[in-house]
Amino acid sequence: MKQKQKPRILVCNDDGIDGEGLHVLAASMKKIGNVTVVAPSEPRSGMGHAMTLGIPLRVKRYTRNSRFFGYTVSGTPVDCIKVALNHILSEKPDIIVSGINYGSNTATNTLYSGTVGAALEGVIQRIPSIAFSLTTYENADFTYAGKFARKLVRKVLRQGLPADTVLSVNIPNIPEQEIQGVKVTAQGKSRWAENTIERDDMYGNPYYWLSGKLQLLDDDLSYDEYAVRENYIAVTPISIDMTNHDALQDIRCWKLNK
């Protein structure tokens, strides 16, 4: 009997090739499939769906503990997916997984996220894709997130995903026994309260640090940010179709051709 081929899994992130979450995710995926890692050569957080134009991309082999681990690309997470599919992989992967990101990618954060951007590029290329994020920037423990990622990837490999749909998965940074469960959620409306800090350099010229705090504007477990704050894993289906379908008819009534 012919042995069943292991699934081909492409792993990427936006925190860069040295990101701890990437290494945990790759190790977890190696338990169920043949893994190729292609990640930015340095942190590329907040890149969204940006890609590099007009500047050549450099690809290098990356070793860890004297062993080959994967490839680096001198660009964005989306660049990594494009280069992997067109120049590194000899066969199309069965699934793309992105992460595990430092910090949540819920609500409006989803729009900025390079982790989600990599997964969206996978779906544009018609490959099932999932983005994983751990909801902390400090004292991160990716252990359970890696375990849950493996469980969900197995499910998606069996069940498939709807066309043009990414799963954005946000996992609380708490012990496994404190996880309340899994909620399939909508993208919430919580957004950033911006705080741009102005300072002067040694020559008296102003420069700026962008910062802020995510304001919770949702109030039930059907939304991603609220769910993770209540210690649930939030699994959010995101579409590459950005059309506001509810607004279509209203805008058509403007009779712009007259």
Detail the residues annotated as belonging to a binding site for a divalent metal cation.
14-15, 45, 101
Q: Distances from the Cα of 179 to the Cαs of 196, 228, 232, 237, in angstroms?
A: 35, 9, 6, 20
Point out the annotated binding site. Answer: 14-15, 45, 101
Provide the 10 A C-beta neighbour count for residue 52: 16
CA distance 145 to 223: 20
CA distance 35 to 25: 10
**Judging by beta carbons within 10 Å of its beta carbon (0-12, 13-18, 19+), is residue 110 exposed, middle or buried?**
buried
| Residues 58 and 23: beta-carbon distance below 8 Å | no
Six-digit token pair at 57? 């991309």
